[in-house]
Amino acid sequence: MMHGFGGGHMYGPWAQPGARGRGLPPVAGARTIEVQAADFTFSPAEITVKAGEVVNLTLVNRGVTVHDLVVPAYRIWLVAPAGQSATTGFRALRPGEHEFYCSVPGHREAGMVGRIVVTP
Ligand SMILES: [Cu+2]
């Protein structure tokens, strides 16, 4: 499962739907943040969570090709085939800003990038 993290390249084995890297299982009752993927954008491209907050992050793929959502800082990796979705729980740690992007080759360069802002 560690493939794709720690090396210079961040291409996940993105053919595995439902993988969530080192995120948590979805957390019952936690706030859900939905990020929609299209070909080739994320919406919203910026999400905000509070330090210490536990949230569920859901990737909804509205596109016609597979997309994923990688958050290297949190070892999170969500994969959603076209028309499907995937969810991970995660706990935001210290305040800061973290990039996320789609690791399918070419998609990051095409504009599939965003950031998570962790507020105090
Ligand atoms: Cu993509």
Q: What is the pLDDT of residues 32-81, one digit of tens each?
A: 999 999 999 999 999 999 999 999 999 999 999 999 999 988 888 888 99
Report pLDDT digits (tens) over 73-101. 888 888 899 999 999 888 898 999 999 99
120 CA to centre of ligand 1 in angstroms:
30
Cα 26 to ligand 1 centre (Å)? 22
Q: Cα(41)–Cα(116) distance, rounded to whole angstroms?
A: 15
Ligand 1 center from residue 116 Cα (angstroms): 17
Residues with CB under 5 A from ligand 1 (ion): 67, 102, 104, 107, 112
Please provide residue 108's backbone torsions phi and psi, each rounded to the nearest 5 degrees: -60, -45
pTM: 0.83
Give distance in angstroms: CA of 12 to centre of ligand 1: 11
Query: Which residue's entry shows tokens 């028309």?
Result: 83
Asked if residue 104 lies in contact with residue 66, where contact means CB atoms within 8 angstroms, the answer is: yes
